[in-house]
Amino acid sequence: MGHKSIDGALRRAILAGKPPDGVQIPGRTVCACHNVGEKTLISIINENQLDSADAVGAVTRAGTGCGSCIPEIESIIGTVRKSGTGGARSLSE
């Protein structure tokens, strides 16, 4: 029953309730087939100026499995485009 030690940066991140530097939180899962989160989608859509579910799928694979998440991906694209930036915020926040 030993305890693994954590380094200082990880300890500070845990205590601050934030991810360690360089670690992105994907947000709630939108595409279960490919484990792609909402924040990841918003970021990818913004960075690449994506405007279709096909384009998002080409970059992230989201929507390329069963396809049940495509309406939600299209909704996220619309919201991001409408807002101009979409920012890094979750749409559900």
Residue 62 binding ligand FES, by CB under 6 A: yes
Rounded distance between C-alpha atoms, residue 1 and residue 50, angstroms:
49
Q: Which residues touch 18 (CB under 8 Å, ≥6 apart)? A: none
Q: Choose between 62 and 80: whose C-beta lies nearer to ligand FES.
A: 62
Rounded distance between C-alpha atoms, residue 19 and residue 1, angstroms:
27
- Pick one of 45, 69, 76, 77: the residue that binds ligand FES (CB under 6 A): 69
- Pick one of 33, 55, 58, 59: the residue that binds ligand FES (CB under 6 A): 33
Give which of 63, 78, 79, 77 is closest to 30, Cα–Cα: 63
Q: Choose between 43 and 64: whose C-beta lies nearer to ligand FES.
A: 64
- Pick one of 27, 37, 63, 86: the residue that binds ligand FES (CB under 6 A): 63
